[in-house]
Amino acid sequence: MEQVLLKNNKVSERGGILDQVKKLKASGLYPYFNAVSSTQGATAVFGDKEVLMFGSNNYLGLSGDPRIQEAVKKAVDKYGTSCTGSRFLNGTIDLHLELENELKEFLNKEGVIIFPTGFQVNSGVIPAVADKNDFIFIDELDHASIIDGCRMSFARRVKFRHSDMADLEQKLANNGVSGDITKLIVTDGIFSMDGDIAQLDKITNLAKQHDAMVMVDCAHSIGVIGKNGSGTASHFNITDEVDLIGGTFSKSLASVGGFIAGSADLIEYLSHASRSYIFSASLPPSSTAAALAALRIIRNDNSLQIKLWENTNYAIQLMNEAGLDIGNAESPIIPIYIRNSFTTFKIAKLLFDNGVYVNPVVAPGVKETDALLRFSLTALHTKQQIEYAIENIAKLVNKYC
């Protein structure tokens, strides 16, 4: 965590972030906060430049779908633009309840509540489940919101090596005893940068042996894996063994917001105990309507999920043939490891100039030696677009790495 000192209205910070930003801007490679002026599908427009979009989380291509846009317009006409309060008080509308009911059926859980963002799911649920007497076991690559949730809980946080089940087992055995102490294991369902699928079946087995609860964050697996895209627990057919399934609407479900699903009692408890749920205004009607419309589309039709996987498998095949270092890529998030931050920025910039957008991911998002281009697919890409992008990436990687 960077420490910031504020003195005489000047910011000086010990982590050197501002210095790095200034250097990157001076080098012309600064890649952040570029404004998009279109929908983000297979292509997107930055300023007036149209590029192939291989950097969104719009896995099913539903953001920009006219059916969802229509549902949003109707919701705004009926409910206005804001619920102006917390779910707890005046901020619940019937659309929230419809979405929660349909999510419950989709995820096969007894209870669901929805939050204003996925970040707030993790930062609100984890501290409500674990406190200073408890232990939380997290994968070292878990999302920042899970880490913040742990911090806010005051529980003892035990990191295990990425997807290393022997390490998790040892840490479960060495930390905490059964009884009044809660042991909670929290994992991403698909890891947001490396794109691999959590070994949730093995995690739930270990949890049983060590009397631990399991929470999975399906931010990147909803729409992508499991029956009709219902996520990682469904993918492994172990929904009953996972205590809490969380996720976001900001990726496959073409909206913003998030959810947590679990047993009726647990969800009833969270709806009265989760601070980010209670002390924050509820999801706006527009976002609720968008998530509901997207959910209805994917529940009734898995053709987008099938197309997404055709594209994913094709891209992985081409990248392997081109000799790119893509680690254990097994999902629509494909990490192309460059392993040096500067080169990662440089290749991302040159790709953009050639009409291909990918996300450069560098430390502290990943370790410096794991700096990568995050290449992500949607169901909307064509084979030709995928071929063009990978040809360009391979040329630049061969030249600069």
Ligand X SMILES: Cc1ncc(COP(=O)(O)O)c(C=O)c1O
Interaction between residue 243 and ligand X (CB under 6 A): no
Judged by beta carbon, residue 318 or residue 372, the one nearer ligand X is 372
Please report how close the Cβ of residue 233 comes to ligand X at its closest, in angstroms: 15
Specify which residues 310 forms β-bridges with. none
Interaction between residue 230 and ligand X (CB under 6 A): no
Interaction between residue 187 and ligand X (CB under 6 A): no
Q: Using CB under 6 A, which of 56, 153, 250, 252 touches ligand X?
A: 250
Interaction between residue 188 and ligand X (CB under 6 A): yes
Please report how close the Cβ of residue 149 comes to ligand X at its closest, in angstroms: 10
Those residues whose C-beta lies under 8 Å from the C-beta of residue 118, and which sit 6 or more positions away, are: 145, 217, 219, 246, 247, 248, 249, 250, 257, 258
CA atoms of 104 and 122, how far apart (whole Å): 18
Judged by beta carbon, residue 224 or residue 396, the one nearer ligand X is 224
> Which two tokens mark 59?
């896995």
Judged by beta carbon, residue 109 or residue 220, the one nearer ligand X is 220
Judged by beta carbon, residue 29 or residue 233, the one nearer ligand X is 233
Please report how close the Cβ of residue 196 comes to ligand X at its closest, in angstroms: 13
Those residues whose C-beta lies under 8 Å from the C-beta of residue 205, and which sit 6 or more positions away, are: none
Please report how close the Cβ of residue 366 comes to ligand X at its closest, in angstroms: 13
CA atoms of 387 and 395, how far apart (whole Å): 12
Q: Using CB under 6 A, which of 134, 139, 217, 243 touches ligand X?
A: 217
Interaction between residue 258 and ligand X (CB under 6 A): yes
Please report how close the Cβ of residue 258 comes to ligand X at its closest, in angstroms: 5
Cα 89 from chain centroid (whole Å): 29
Q: Using CB under 6 A, which of 40, 58, 182, 192 touches ligand X?
A: 192
Stretch binding ligand X (CB under 6 A), from 3-11, 111-119, 155-163, 178-186: 111-119
Q: Using CB under 6 A, which of 60, 219, 289, 290 touches ligand X?
A: 219
* Nearest in space to 241 (alpha carbons), one of 213, 199, 268, 210: 213
Please report how close the Cβ of residue 4 comes to ligand X at its closest, in angstroms: 23
Alpha-carbon distances, residue 254 vs 60, 66, 206, 298 (angstroms): 9, 11, 34, 11
**Near ligand X in 328-387, by CB under 6 A:** none
Judged by beta carbon, residue 281 or residue 350, the one nearer ligand X is 281
Judged by beta carbon, residue 192 or residue 392, the one nearer ligand X is 192
**Near ligand X in 112-171, by CB under 6 A:** 117-119, 143, 145
Catalytic residue annotation: 192, 220, 251
Is the Cβ–Cβ distance between 379 and 332 less than 8 Å? no
Backbone angles phi, psi at 346, to 5 degrees: -65, -45
Judged by beta carbon, residue 221 or residue 385, the one nearer ligand X is 221
The residue of the chain with the least Cβ separation from ligand X equals 118
> Which two tokens mark 139?
């994968």
Please report how close the Cβ of residue 81 comes to ligand X at its closest, in angstroms: 19
Instruction: Note the residues at the interface with ligand X (CB under 6 A).
Output: 117-119, 143, 145, 188, 192, 217, 219-220, 248, 250, 256, 258
